[in-house]
């Protein structure tokens, strides 16, 4: 094996690294103290360096020394590994070749603005991810630059020292990737900037002004690249957007906790992170909403699930489907009609506004506003109108009576009569003026009173009153029976003052169109992980609420365990919600070994419909293994013995995955009773403890990964009768990085064939 010192350029690279580290130190120190100290800090950093190397030429005054807190913090983080790659690029239009060092953050020379380290997100760094040696090009600020890529080099470093230099030529496959993947999961996602693959890079850097939908197999890096795309977005648009204007929506708080570790590394920790429920509850400003437990999946997994469950699932599917878009749109048309005034607007006897004009403003001019906001606008328009005409209207009355009085004064001969007439006219004038003043004060309020004043909750309840009406609103897409079922189901919920998850999207859709939502819930860019688990209506209402179509949707239909309500294809989402979206598929998987992925692919074939096979990057490991488990106390002993063994092998994270939470609780209790090991039972809201053994049901393990996974069965077995169970098993089998064990009574409990050799 060659050592790093044997690389022909070792000395040059080592010096470069030393120089960069020292320069970084001086910059960091200066940023932390005062910019006037830069020279002194530079002197201190290079004090023991041979002056013949020419570093003294750097000791000129810093012409530019501004650094944001974020820049300083990322610079500090990359002290021990300032860069991970170098490319040499000879641009066609320039005589000298450029030597570019690529790192997680950029570093400029304060003296001449040279880039000592180029950020991985910058345009030229794209050559590292996409370029092969030879003719290449890259685009920066819309301009194309052609040239030749002469060198592509990777650096391994430990504690700031070079441990390996690797030159990538046309034939070497990506060893760095292989090595990275062979490492252990510290239970969390990390950044992968040095090993991003070409197909992944395309997603990360895909047009930032367009939505993107990524269908990617298990372990293809969807979560990881979605986070890198945000990081890339922030880098490109840091001048225009605050991180708070970006948002990640993830399936559970557990999942948010899981990804949270990768966020600071990527400089995106300040973005909004929410579950869908939390987002909607926040946007509706209804913290105390009583949400029914979202347990339809769990009920479906129970051995003898009831007819009601099937019924409830059908309702979920309908409520999430685009049929409800039609229903809600029709419903809103009806609501709008209740705001068409039957009469013109009068103040006293004066007609100030025609109802037709009112309707025109409502339906056309203020079309962009939510209904109740339009009504507020119209109220102000009427008030304004009065304000402008008030004086004139009062004057008209005054003039009318003054005129009368004057005529009486000149024309009436009899002084008594005249006096009486004038005094009556004066009284009348006074009375009319008072009437007018009252009308001026009250007419807007009176006029507005004819419109309904309801809140979102009563609108929502009114939607589910009459089955025929619901069928009609659905343009006959719902049958009478379906409509009756939905209404019965909803009224039962309303009686208990409850809502369920599927109501949230519909409520949000109505809220956006009728009342609008506060600005803080509008964002510029949204990333949705596990997007296959969302319904059509959820995605649609989110787009409307956030007021952007700039979505990055990543998901895997093969893992669609919520497909009873969620998506079974991306078609409608692309065609009807995100027509501008680019669609990409990722079929290569980076998480697990060939052996485990093959076994998982084999299980997926049992589904009645097909998904393209996921291809693992070539990394071999042990075959998955079935371990027959004895009954009773022994069960835990055997499991613990195996856990200890794999721990000794150096693996760090372990999950015991069961089919249901019930089975997980049973295993957990057995551990508590008879086991010696500390294990954690993961729930929806938990956090994932580091370097420990966790017990988790398969549906919650979705999206997570562990070094070693045991899929166990105590009372619950996987059957191939329902696609859901096959998908759930597939999800569980694609969680491990290195090892997979099945732990139960018989192989067939995990849909494995008895005669399979393992």
Residues lying near ligand ATP in the complex (CB under 6 A) are found at 177, 180-181, 189, 192, 195-197, 200, 216, 218-224, 556, 559, 590-591, 703, 705, 734
Give 193 or 381: the residue with its C-beta nearer to ligand ATP. 193
> Whose Cβ is closer to ligand ATP: residue 228's or residue 659's?
228
Is the Cβ of residue 262 or residue 752 nearer to ligand ATP in the bound state?
A: 262
Q: In whole angstroms, how close is the CB of 554 to ligand ATP at the nearest point?
A: 7
Q: Specify the residue, 199 or 344, whose C-beta has the smaller distance to ligand ATP.
A: 199
CB of 686 to ligand ATP, least distance (A): 18
To ligand ATP, the closest distance from the beta carbon of 361 in angstroms equals 49
Provide the pairing of β-strand 212-216 with 582-586.
parallel
**Neighbouring C-alpha atoms within 13 Å toward the C-beta of 10:** 12
CB of 119 vs ligand ATP, minimal distance in Å: 18
Least gap, CB of 184 to ligand ATP (angstroms): 10
| Cα separation, 193 vs 394, whole angstroms | 74
Closest approach of ligand ATP to the CB of residue 456, in Å = 35
**Rounded CA separation 521/543 (Å):** 11
Angle at 182 between CA 752 and CA 189, to 5 degrees: 90
Known binding residue 221? Answer is: yes
Q: Which is nearer to ligand ATP, 486 or 561 (CB)?
A: 561
Cβ proximity to ligand ATP: between 22 and 591 the closer is 591
- Buried/exposed code over 91-123 (b: 16+ C-beta within 10 A; e: otherwise): beeeeeeeebbbbbbbbbebbeeeebbbbbbbb
**Residue 223 among known ligand-binding residues:** yes
CB 700 within 8 A of CB 731: no
The least distance separating ligand ATP from the CB of residue 597, rounded to whole angstroms, comes to 11
Of 129 and 671, which has the nearer Cβ to ligand ATP? Answer: 129
Nearer to ligand ATP, 202 or 437 (CB): 202
Helix or strand run (H / E) with residue 656: strand 654-658
Say whether 245 sits in a helix, a strand or coil.
helix
The secondary element (H helix, E strand) that includes residue 693 is: strand 693-697
Determine whether the annotation assigns residue 220 to a binding site: yes
The pair of structure tokens assigned to 406 is 């004057």
582 CB neighbour count, 10 Å cutoff:
15
Name the nearest CA neighbour of 491 among 514, 518, 470, 508: 470
Q: How far is CA 117 from CA 122, 300, 651, in A?
A: 11, 54, 34
Least separation in angstroms between CB 457 and ligand ATP: 37
Going by C-alpha positions, the residue among 238, 210, 204 that lies closest to residue 223 is: 204
3-state helix, strand, coil in the chain (%, to 5): 50, 15, 35
d(CA 438, CA 431): 11
541 is in an annotated binding site: no
Closest to ligand ATP by CB, 525 vs 734, is 734
Could you give the CA distance from residue 724 to residue 720 in angstroms, rounded to a whole number? 9
Beta bridge partners of 462: none
Cα atoms found within 13 Å of the Cα of residue 207, Cβ hemisphere only: 12
At 667, list the tokens: 């295993």
As measured in angstroms, the least distance from the Cβ of 559 to ligand ATP is 6
CB nearer ligand ATP, residue 506 or residue 655: 655
Residue 125 CB, shortest distance to ligand ATP, in Å, is 15
Shortest Å, Cβ 201 to ligand ATP: 9
> 523 or 704, CB closer to ligand ATP?
704
CA distance 166 to 9: 11
Distant-in-sequence contacts of 635-643, Cβ < 8 A, 24+ apart: 635/670, 635/714, 636/670, 636/671, 636/674, 636/675, 637/674, 639/710, 639/712, 639/743, 640/675, 640/676, 640/677, 642/710, 642/741, 643/677, 643/693, 643/710
Work out the number of other CB atoms within 10 angstroms of the CB of residue 143.
8
Q: Minimum distance between the CB of residue 140 and ligand ATP, rounded to whole angstroms?
A: 24
Would you tell me the crossing angle of helices 536-546 and 323-337 to the nearest 10 degrees? Answer: 50
Q: Any binding-site annotation on 222?
A: yes
Residue 631: closest CA among 747, 746, 732: 746
Q: Determine the Cα–Cα distance for residues 550 and 156; give it in Å rounded to an integer.
A: 37
Residue (222 or 738) nearer to ligand ATP, CB? 222
Residue 691 CB, nearest approach to ligand ATP (Å): 16
Let me know: does 710 contact 694? Beta carbons within 8 Å.
Answer: no
Reference 456, options 635, 581, 300, 332; nearest CA is 332
Extract the annotated binding site for ATP: 216-223
- Annotated binding residues, written as ranges, equal 216-223
């Amino acid at each position: 094996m060659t050592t790093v010192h044997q690389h022909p350029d070792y000395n040059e690279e080592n010096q470069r690294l030393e120089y960069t580290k020292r320069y970084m130190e001086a910059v960091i120190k200066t940023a932390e103290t005062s910019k006037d100290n830069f020279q002194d800090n530079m002197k201190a950093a290079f004090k023991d360096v041979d002056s013949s190397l020419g570093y003294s030429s750097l000791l000129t005054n810093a012409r530019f020394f501004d650094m944001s807190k974020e820049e300083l913090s990322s610079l500090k983080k990359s002290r021990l590994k300032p860069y991970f790659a170098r490319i040499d690029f000879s641009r066609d239009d320039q005589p000298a070749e450029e030597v570019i060092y690529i790192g997680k953050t950029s570093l400029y020379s304060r003296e001449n603005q040279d880039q000592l380290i180029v950020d991985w997100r910058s345009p030229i760094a794209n050559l590292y991810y996409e370029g092969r040696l030879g003719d290449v090009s890259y685009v920066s600020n819309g301009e194309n630059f052609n040239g030749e890529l002469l060198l592509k080099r990777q650096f391994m470093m430990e504690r700031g020292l070079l441990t390996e230099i690797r030159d990538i030529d046309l034939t070497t496959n990506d060893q760095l990737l292989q090595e990275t993947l062979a490492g252990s999961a510290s239970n969390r996602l990390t950044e992968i900037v040095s090993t991003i693959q070409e197909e992944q890079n395309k997603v990360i850097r895909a047009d930032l002004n367009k939505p993107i939908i990524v269908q990617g197999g298990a372990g293809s890096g969807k979560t990881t690249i979605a986070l890198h795309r945000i990081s890339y977005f922030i880098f490109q648009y840091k001048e225009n957007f605050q991180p708070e204007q970006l948002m990640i929506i993830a399936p559970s708080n557990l999942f948010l906790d899981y990804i949270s570790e990768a966020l600071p590394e990527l400089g995106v920790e300040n973005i909004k992170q929410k579950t869908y429920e939390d987002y909607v509850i926040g946007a509706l400003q209804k913290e105390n909403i009583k949400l029914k437990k979202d347990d339809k999946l769990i009920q479906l997994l129970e051995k003898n699930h009831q007819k009601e469950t099937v019924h409830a699932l059908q309702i979920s599917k309908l409520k999430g489907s685009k049929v409800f878009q039609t229903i809600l749109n029709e419903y809103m048309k009806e609501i709008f009609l209740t705001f068409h005034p039957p009469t013109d607007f009068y103040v006293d006897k004066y007609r100030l506004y025609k109802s037709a004009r009112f309707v025109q403003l409502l339906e056309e001019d203020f079309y962009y506003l939510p209904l109740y906001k339009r009504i507020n606008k119209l109220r102000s328009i009427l008030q304004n109108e009065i304000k402008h005409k008030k004086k004139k209207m009062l004057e008209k009355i005054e003039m009318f009576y003054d005129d009368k009085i004057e005529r009486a004064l000149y024309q009436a001969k009899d002084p008594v009569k005249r006096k009486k007439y004038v005094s009556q006219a004066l009284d009348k004038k006074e009375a009319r003026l008072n009437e007018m003043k009252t009308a001026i004060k009250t007419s807007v309020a009176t006029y507005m009173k004819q419109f309904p004043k309801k809140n979102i909750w009563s609108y929502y309840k009114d939607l589910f009153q009459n089955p025929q009406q619901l069928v009609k609103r659905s343009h006959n897409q719902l049958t009478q029976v379906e409509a009756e079922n939905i209404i019965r189901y909803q009224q039962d919920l309303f009686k208990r003052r409850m809502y369920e998850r599927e109501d949230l999207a519909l409520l949000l859709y109505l809220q956006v169109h009728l009342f609008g939502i506060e600005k803080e819930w509008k964002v510029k860019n949204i990333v949705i992980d596990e997007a296959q688990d969302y319904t059509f209506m959820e995605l649609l209402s989110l787009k409307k609420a956030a007021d952007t179509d700039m979505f990055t949707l990543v998901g895997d239909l093969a893992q669609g365990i919520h497909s009873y309500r969620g998506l079974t294809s991306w078609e409608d989402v692309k065609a009807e919600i995100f027509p501008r979206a680019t669609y990409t598929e990722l079929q290569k998987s980076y998480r697990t070994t060939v052996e485990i992925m093959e076994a998982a692919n084999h299980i997926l074939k049992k589904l009645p419909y097909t998904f393209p096979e996921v291809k693992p990057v070539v990394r071999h490991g042990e075959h998955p293994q079935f371990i027959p488990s004895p009954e009773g106390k022994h069960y835990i002993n055997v499991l613990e013995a195996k856990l200890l063994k794999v721990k000794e092998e150096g693996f760090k994270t372990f999950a015991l995955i069961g089919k249901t939470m019930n089975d997980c609780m049973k295993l957990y209790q057995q551990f508590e009773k008879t086991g010696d090991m500390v294990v954690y039972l993961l729930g929806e809201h938990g956090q994932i403890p580091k370097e420990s053994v966790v017990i988790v049901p398969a549906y919650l393990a979705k999206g997570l990964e562990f070094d070693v996974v045991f899929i166990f069965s105590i009372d619950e077995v996987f059957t191939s009768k329902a696609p859901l169970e096959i998908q759930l098993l597939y999800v569980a089998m694609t969680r491990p990085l290195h090892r997979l064990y099945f732990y139960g009574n018989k192989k067939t409990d995990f849909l494995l064939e008895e005669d399979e050799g393992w």
